[in-house]
Amino acid sequence: MYSSKIVYTGSYVPERVVTNDELSQIVDTSDEWISTRTGIKKRHVSTGENASDLASKTAEDILKKGNIDPLSIELIIVATVSADYSTPSTACLVQAKIGAKNAAAFDVTAACSGFVYAVSVADKFIKTGTYKNVLVIGTEVLSKITDWTDRTTCVLFGDGSAGAFLERCETGGIIAEDIGSDGERGMSLTASNILASNAFNDVEKVPSSCIAMDGRAVFQFATRQIPKSIENIIEKTGIDRNEIKYVVPHQANSRIIEIISKKTDIPMDKFYINMENYGNTSSASIPIALNEMVEKGMVKRGDKIIITGFGGGLTWGTLLVEW
Long-range contacts from 60-66, C-beta under 8 angstroms, 24+ separation: 60/10, 60/98, 61/10, 61/11, 61/12, 62/8, 62/9, 62/10, 62/135, 62/163, 62/164, 62/165, 63/98, 64/10, 65/8, 65/9, 65/10, 66/7, 66/8, 66/165
Candidates 20, 253, 277, 280; catalytic one: 280
Residue type, 18: V
112 is catalytic: yes
Q: Calculate the CA dihedral of residues 183, 188, 193, 197 and round it to 10 degrees.
A: 70
For the chain, percent helix, then strand, then coil, each to nearest 5? 40, 25, 35
Assign residue 161 a region: left if phi > 0, alpha if psi is -120 to 50, beta otherwise? Answer: beta
Q: Largest Cα–Cα distance in the chain?
A: 62
For residue 44, the cross-strand partners are: 17
250 is catalytic: yes
**Which stretches within 162-280 are classed as H helix?**
215-237, 254-264, 275-278
232 is catalytic: no
Best CA proximity match to 157, nearest among 261, 291, 20: 20
Give me Rg for the CA atoms of the chain: 19
Candidates 250, 253, 277, 291; catalytic one: 250
Candidates 92, 112, 154, 210; catalytic one: 112
Q: Is 116 helix (H, G, I), strand (E, B) or coil?
A: helix
For residue 69, the cross-strand partners are: none
Indicate which residues carry an active-site annotation.
112, 250, 280
